[in-house]
Structure 1
Amino acid sequence: MDTQKILDFLFELFASLGLKIIAAVIILFVGSKLIKFIKKWIKTSSKLEKIDMGVRTFLGSFLGITLYAILFITIAMVLGIPTTSFVTALASCGVAIGLALQGALGNLAGGLMILIFKPFKVGDYIDTSSTSGTVTNITIMYTVLTTPDNKVITVPNGILTNSVIENYSASDERRVDLTFATGYECDIEKVKEILLSVANKNEKVIKEPVPFARLVRHGDNSLEYTLRVWCKASDYWDVNFDLIETVKKEFDLNNISIPYPQMDIHIDNVK
């Protein structure tokens, strides 16, 4: 008799849960296939090709995790499992994980901003508040810079997005600003003529806008001139160093003195 009651109970239990189990299995199968399709579509769709691959990969992973969470909650509801406590526990875990990974999440958000808004790209030379170098790699969490002396610097994206970034490669052309000092006895027009002549003879200097040379300051020991020329961004340092060297040679040939700081001391005899 007891055995019969047990069998009847199991039969009733299966009858009540059987359809729910079948429905849950179908939902799991269809939902999993749909989530995989969505993730693959995000990575391979030609409609999203303008979005950086790093952003697409992250969005696919994030969306996959979110959809799987929704899928399992739906299955639990179909099976009649109370979901209120489950959702509460999941939310609590999310808050705890978020606090523990606050720095990492900041880098993640920074990486997304960099990949979406593109303040710089691989190959650009940038200067931040803490370092500078050529961008060699951009990931979702950090950016890799290579300095002129071949040091490799890994910068968290959270730091980059909270810093002022100077991108020296954003434009095809850059302006070279140089300052030269001469003695007060030197002819102003002659100095300006030499500076402009040196600039115009340099093949890497762009002719438009035209080179600019003017007297800008009366210093304590010298007259200070500025020379401004434009060149291709890739030629910046070559033009900078070439002009400094050539101007010095031309000053020497034309007897233009370059003064050095000096101080006159007068001693009075105190009786």
Structure 2
Amino acid sequence: MNNLDSFIKSFIENLFNFLPNIVSSIVILAIGLWIIRLLKRMTHRILTKKKIDPTFTSFLLDGAVWGLRIVLFIIIASKLGIQTSSFVAIIGAMSLAIGLSLQGSLSNFAGGVLIILFKPFRIGDIIEAQGEAGKVSGIHIFSTKIINYQNQVIYIPNGILSNGKIKNYTENELRKTELSIQTPSTINSADFINLLTNELIENETILKQPKPRVQIKEILDTKVTYTVLAWVENGNYSEVSSFIYLKGKEISQHLTTN
């Protein structure tokens, strides 16, 4: 019983002796995280004012924040009495195992660096990759954030993204439609082409040069398929596509009834 009492007494004494280090470590953690957030906001504001590429800014800030968090962790570990030299030695011994277990993460980090360097897309671009399509909302250290047309958030790992096929819809200012429209084979194809071409020329959002064209793509016994080619500004693509389909249907119905 005396041994138990002695152990409890020693434990309480050591706890009270170590308590200041625990409290100070918690305070350092809270202040450190607050400073990191403050530095991130200030740096983001400065880089934005200097008109630095938002893609590079996002990636740089993510890397800096993680680096500062690691430094903060080492400071707190040292405050708790863990020898820094021993701590670094432990990290070195664990680095191989961590590296093997985080091969995917390292690949994603390397993929993020490649995206920043070669810029296949930027924040704000509309892309299609890995079977997903949407607007790039952020490029982080390990993944890229995309918001699709249903307003769903999708995270794609940078590793497979940088090594896969990427279709960027907004990198160029202009975009060409290549839409297929079908009509009954009973209507006059020349009349359909002329009427639809006139509608394209009169539409102010369709560029006049290169001139919009309507071509016959395929003729079958019951239907004829046409291809509509028109150049538009990227922002007008959806509107013009809808216009073409609507006018194609109206003209087809008009020629069928007359």
Match runs of 1:14-25 below 5 Å: none
| SS of the residue 1:186 aligns to | coil
Match runs of 1:201-240 below 5 Å: 201-240=202-241
Structure 1 Cα separation of the partners of residues 200 and 107 of structure 2: 47
Cα distance, 1:130 vs. partner? 2.2
Structure 2 Cα separation of the partners of residues 225 and 252 of structure 1: 15
Q: What residue is the counterpart of 1:11 in the other structure?
A: none
Structure 1 Cα separation of the partners of residues 155 and 162 of structure 2: 14
Q: What residue is the counterpart of 2:199 in the other structure?
A: 198
| SS of the residue 1:177 aligns to | strand
Cα distance, 1:60 vs. partner? 10
Q: What residue is the counterpart of 2:181 in the other structure?
A: 180
**Corresponding position: 1:122 with 2:123:** yes
Q: Which runs of 5+ in 1 are unaligned?
A: 1-42, 66-85, 258-271
Cα distance, 1:54 vs. partner? 4.8
Structure 2 Cα separation of the partners of residues 53 and 153 of structure 1: 20
Q: What's the CA shift string for 1:100-150, capped at 9, x where partnerless?
A: 111111111111111121111111110013211101111111111111121
**Corresponding position: 1:134 with 2:135:** yes
Q: What residue is the counterpart of 1:53 in the other structure?
A: 57
Q: Which amino acid aligns with 1:118?
A: K
Do 1:104 and 1:141's aligned partners in 2 also have CA atoms closer than 8 Å? yes
| SS of the residue 1:209 aligns to | coil
Structure 2 Cα separation of the partners of residues 189 and 256 of structure 1: 16
Structure 2 Cα separation of the partners of residues 111 and 254 of structure 1: 55
Residues 223 and 145 of structure 1: CA distance in aligned 2, closer, same or farther (over 3 Å)? same
Q: Which amino acid aligns with 2:246?
A: E
**Corresponding position: 1:103 with 2:107:** no
Q: What residue is the counterpart of 2:147 in the other structure?
A: 146
Do 2:217 and 2:226's aligned partners in 1 also have CA atoms closer than 8 Å? yes
Q: Which amino acid aligns with 1:215?
A: I
Residues 248 and 55 of structure 1: CA distance in aligned 2, closer, same or farther (over 3 Å)? closer
Residues 256 and 170 of structure 1: CA distance in aligned 2, closer, same or farther (over 3 Å)? farther
Residues 194 and 103 of structure 1: CA distance in aligned 2, closer, same or farther (over 3 Å)? same
Residues 192 and 216 of structure 1: CA distance in aligned 2, closer, same or farther (over 3 Å)? same
Q: Which amino acid aligns with 2:150?
A: D
Q: What's the CA shift string for 1:214-257, capped at 9, x where partnerless?
A: 11212352121111101010111000011111221122223379
**Corresponding position: 1:168 with 2:161:** no
Structure 2 Cα separation of the partners of residues 55 and 122 of structure 1: 11
After superposition, the CA RMSD in angstroms is 3.4
Identity fraction in percent? 29
Cα distance, 1:208 vs. partner? 0.9
Structure 1 Cα separation of the partners of residues 58 and 225 of structure 2: 50
Structure 2 Cα separation of the partners of residues 212 and 256 of structure 1: 25
Structure 2 Cα separation of the partners of residues 184 and 246 of structure 1: 18
Q: What's the CA shift string for 1:49-98, capped at 9, x where partnerless?
A: 77923555538977xx9xxxxxxxxxxxxxxxxxxxx98x8765332111
Do 1:107 and 1:158's aligned partners in 2 also have CA atoms closer than 8 Å? yes
Residues 223 and 179 of structure 1: CA distance in aligned 2, closer, same or farther (over 3 Å)? same
Larger radius of gyration: 1
Q: What residue is the counterpart of 1:5 in the other structure?
A: none
Do 1:55 and 1:116's aligned partners in 2 also have CA atoms closer than 8 Å? no
> Aligned residue pairs: how many?
198
Q: Which runs of 5+ in 2 are unaligned?
A: 1-42, 71-87
Cα distance, 1:164 vs. partner? 0.4
| SS of the residue 2:210 aligns to | coil
Do 1:179 and 1:226's aligned partners in 2 also have CA atoms closer than 8 Å? yes
Q: What residue is the counterpart of 1:251 in the other structure?
A: 252
Residues 55 and 122 of structure 1: CA distance in aligned 2, closer, same or farther (over 3 Å)? closer
Cα distance, 1:202 vs. partner? 1.6
